[in-house]
Copies of this chain bind each other. A is one copy, B any other.
């Protein structure tokens, strides 16, 4: 008899009809003999409704009170789901974050979980209850209600799974698993049966918005097996775990990730001297602009070119800062380019397989795509290319690394 934490997001509980559907799903698991902890979000639209009420009063409402307000959204869902379970003859009991006691720090709106009391939950589970816990919320040491920030319900689920030593944490979403790449770009993209936490983090940070990054990190840290499943369709989903697949047939690469959200800045004719990178990037970082890929070319004539990428929304501000810096340090020019895209191949397999980089570059070259920048990590190689080549690049790499399956039916 295993202990399973199941998390249902706002869309999955967006109406009474859907809540009844979730109750059916949980009841079926219970019938199979599992102990179930359900973690729920607010019904879709509810959080926005509450935010709108607060904003009628003030543009930036008191964070403590914002948390008191928003936390009611999940509380409503816990009560309704518990009722729907009771209607099916399944003993159920709702919990707010405070009732569980999910202890957090006091950073309202973005609190971090510090400890979870498991006594009451375990005793209710032993007594045969399905425990329905409000996601996204906790209490600080003084008993004030806190929230973990948007998407925090995933984190609640993983933290509960870790605290209760659950056998699996299942995240129900609107996709049926993690794919080798975005099926809207490559119709032959395949659902992965399993993926490692590290791979998932690299895939997620590139815009595969299946799971909150924090939740994946947390799950990895505490070795909680995570499974992504579809809320309304049957299927095994994708298991995210610490173990790599032992299957020799498994491709080296787990998937192809990509993003269009970046822009590129180049400072040319930079005097090539120690500390120059800091003088350029320091002011950008001070302005709270995150920098992603950085490339410094080998210098010639005692000058060098310095190129890096930022989120597209930060481009104008970053450019303004750089122009001032360029004047100061005597660089010749600043150029910007927002028509770029980043494409990455991700896979823990590349640790033990040589030649992934050359295979990647070869595949891109064979379709005539010019690489603007390259950056590598232990399990990922990313290239910056012109945005117009994005789809072509993703499709070519997907094929080159043997990821194509049968075209996905929509």
Contacts and interface: CB of A to CB of B under 8 A. Distances in A.
Interface of A: 16, 19-20, 50, 53-54, 56-58, 61-62, 64-66, 68-69, 71-72, 75-76, 78-80, 82-84, 86-87, 92-94, 96, 98-99, 143, 145
B53 A80 contact: yes
Contact of A57 (B71, B76, B80): B80
Contacts of A62: 82-83, 86
Given A57-B19, A84-B57, A93 B76 contact: no
Contact of A16 (B57, B65, B71): B57
Contacts of A19: 57
Nearest to A94: B68
Given A65-B79, A65-B94, A94-B65, A58 B72 contact: no
A83 B65 contact: yes
Nearest to A23: B57
A87 B57 contact: yes
B76 A16 contact: no
B83 A57 contact: yes
Given A53-B80, A65-B83, A99-B143, 11 more contacts: A16-B53, A19-B57, A58-B83, A64-B82, A64-B94, A65-B80, A69-B76, A69-B83, A72-B75, A72-B76, A98-B99
Max count, chain B CB within 10 A of own CB: residue among A57, A62, A66, A98: A57
A58 B93 CA distance: 16
Contacts of A145: 96, 99
Given A16-B56, A84-B57, A69 B79 contact: yes
A374 B71 CA distance: 55
